[in-house]
Structure 1
């Protein structure tokens, strides 16, 4: 996940952002993506509020993959129609990318300022992991974590309801890239457990 803010800062400047509540400003850096920079320019120069954004619509399940300028509030269903509809049966429609995105429960949800892409996966490409196994302490998630965290411990503690204890493992340093869940041989929903712990605690 080299596009992540902390990863970029470390790779380009060699500076390490301190743990939360530390911010990039603490090491003399401000990171802005191109879309945000353009929105700030248009707001300052023309007084234009943020009313639209570029959304990438892609995946093997979409007829005509496209990059579209979409009004905030537009429905995902209308965007799918604009791209020619589904190619065959759609298994999942994901808001975001394959690693950090999340499956949409319905197509009647609006685009928000944070919607960067819509990924359509055909039915044959969906892995239905209804059951997951226990953590086998293989350490793969620890080896792959770009932040050097212990996702296994955070997810185990969250699964058992020990949310405050999960904070001892720098819970809020995790930016939910999904690498840990991708390599997990037990197919554990590690990111979902971490998100749960974050939602029920404070930094």
Structure 2
């Protein structure tokens, strides 16, 4: 059975992963440094955490569910404890693209990111309709990249990613560079800016006398 060390297990992303991995075919070792995160795991999921050394001993996969700005520091701190062939999974392209992962050719680096649930969807459950981020109730697509490592490791990483982002629909394979183009390039820099323009246009037609709810419904 594949053993996964989940770093940041009690944080914003880590708690979602800890929840989704329950009942999975993987052995999960939860690592969390904050007392609040440890308490959240214990109270919410009945999960006890492990120390770094205990979690990494014999681990096949390490997931860094930590803030993007901490990935480089965390990865550097555990590098010497990772056996050759270990897969390191990162949940955003920023740190890998910027070269913040250790220079270890004997490790597999797998990067994956959700597309987030579609705005226009066929969800009928209200909880799913309100799951705007995904990974809880709403179905979503996701992208993944095998940054380095043997080709057969892509399928291994993709299976894990399907649980991370569950419930899922389509899985897309991209490169790390392409993932960086998608986020922040396409989704945040371009699309978020267009949303600002849409809001300004809405305010303008309301200022010209159109009922606000009518404008929202039309938009």
Per residue, is there more strand in 1 or in 2? 2
TM-score, normalized by the shorter chain, greater than 0.5: no
- TM bucket (normalised to shorter chain) is under 0.3
TM norm structure 1: 0.26
TM score, norm. by length of structure 2: 0.25
- Larger helix proportion, structure 1 or 2? 2
